[in-house]
Amino acid sequence: MNTPVITLDGAHLRAEDVVAIARGGATVALADAARQALDATRGYIESHWLNDAAPLMYAFNTGVGALKSHRIAPAEIATFQASLVRSHSAGTGEPMPDEVVRAMMALRVNAFASNHSGVRVAIIDRLIAMLNHGITPLVPSKGSVGASGDLAPLALMSGALMGLPESRVAYRGEVMPAARAFGQAGMAPTMDVQAKDATALINGATASLAYAVLAAHDARELLGSATLSMAMTLEALRGELSCFEDRVMLARPHRGQRRVAAAIRQLVAGSQRCTEPARQLRLRGTPGLDPAQAGTPHTPPLAPRIQDVYSLRCVPQVYGPVLDALDYIDGILATEMNSATDNPLIFPEDAGYAIVSGGHFHGQYIAQAMDLLALAVADLSAICDRRSARLVDPACNFGLPANLIAQRPGINTGFSVVQSMGTGLVLENMGLCGPASATSLPAKGNTEDHISNSCFAARRTRTVVENTQAVVAVELLLAAQALDLAELDLAAYPVGAGTAAAWSAVRATVPAMLGDDRWVHDDIAQLRARVADGSLTAATQSACGPLWQAREAA
């Protein structure tokens, strides 16, 4: 299979491109037009600004931060740039995941391609070669304040690019010194940084953005899987469908809410399970029921249900804000991905160029977007967990056996701890949702007197998304088990075609537990992987069509 080539030009990078580079190993190239423009800008810099008569330009021929009044002589600029990388190579904690570092590298290349950084093309080519050879710097995950960008993570990336002896990279399944990896890949073991190179490399909230782009992508996949798990639970509990009608949605016509309701209707279309005749049948898990009466109507008939609980009935009102938040966040990230974010920036002016200080390195847009995403996804986890709790509780699961035990209760315990594992993750999510973007402390001698905390905001949000993937996997596992058990008595009342496809996709991943208890850890892990990669949703949509209406249609 041919590896896709993604050409970066500074203006047209998409989230799916970042994912393909970070996770799929897509080949990266620099657009020819961008290369020509970068060469022209760099030529001007080298012919006009590398001399004693050049005006003072921050971080170009001056020190940084509180040292900005110190002029750097032209002969010392290269030494200064290398020193910047070494002095900023802080950081602690576990290494960032390789996919985050690869995303960070690709995003930095695209920012440079906008031609506002003045970096040498050789630096860009080195980053691209590292991506294409699979050479990934080891970058500690903690220690950035998100202004002046993610200095420490980017400095550690830059040290690897330079082949500094202290730098380590992952290459071909092994951690090794960066210079050795370059040699094995047929690249120059080391590389010097010159005027503006290091300043451009380390300045910008690009680690934050890398975490954010991947988290937002995964959250959208997650919402699809959570919609499947909800439909399966709805049918397992024989819920009401009228609350999802479009006339109800139009009375309060939020776009996300309408789109979620439409997706639910699509999944349960044709369902006989969510009907009053099906609700009248007794299931063999009903406490005290003679097994011979399983699958027969209640006598006297049950009164019709009036209003399901919120975790079923209010899903459009809870999932809808998540979908709308994702659309908003995607807009923020699309702009960030195609922006110049270092400082100072270079612009054409008259017959030459001007260098202007600004603040695009500040990560507040990313931080606030990630706060919103963490809150939205944490709430998604909470409502999924409440449905899971109902599935195992005989007081509110409408005749399903306690803990969804198929046989020999007491000897077998069923799914109670599987469900409470999900609750534990929801509790963790709740603790992670404090507003990171509102937390600001001055840094670097008060020259950075307001910081964004964007890297923590985005890294924390990744954890919330990962936790919620497992919470949704739990609901999928329990809902499939509930449907398996109910099918013994309700086979004459089929579920909707979309629900059936989702159920089948779950069962293609893990088998039903219709005998004794088994090791469930692997079941959860396998389903979580299919939630994460979106394959459950893809399999379901192949049977019932796309779940999501276009935003403009809602």
List, by residue number, the catalytic residues. 58
Q: Give the span between the Cα atoms of 306 and 303, in whole angstroms.
A: 9
Nearest to 294 by CA among 286, 302, 282: 282
Nearest to 443 by CA among 69, 143, 80: 143
Q: Give the span between the Cα atoms of 338 and 108, in whole angstroms.
A: 10
CB distance 137 to 178 below 8 Å: yes
Q: Give the span between the Cα atoms of 461 and 239, in whole angstroms.
A: 32
CB distance 325 to 373 below 8 Å: yes
Nearest to 460 by CA among 500, 433, 496: 433
Place of tokens 């379901």: 540
Q: For 242-277, give one letter per residue: b (16+ CB within 10 A) or e.
A: ebbeeeebeeeebbbbbbbbbbbbbbbeebebbeee
| Helix or strand (DSSP H, E) at 428 | helix 416-431
Q: Give the span between the Cα atoms of 208 and 367, in whole angstroms.
A: 8
Distances (CA, A) of 517 to 416, 462, 492, 520, 521: 11, 32, 28, 8, 12
Q: Give the span between the Cα atoms of 20 and 326, in whole angstroms.
A: 20
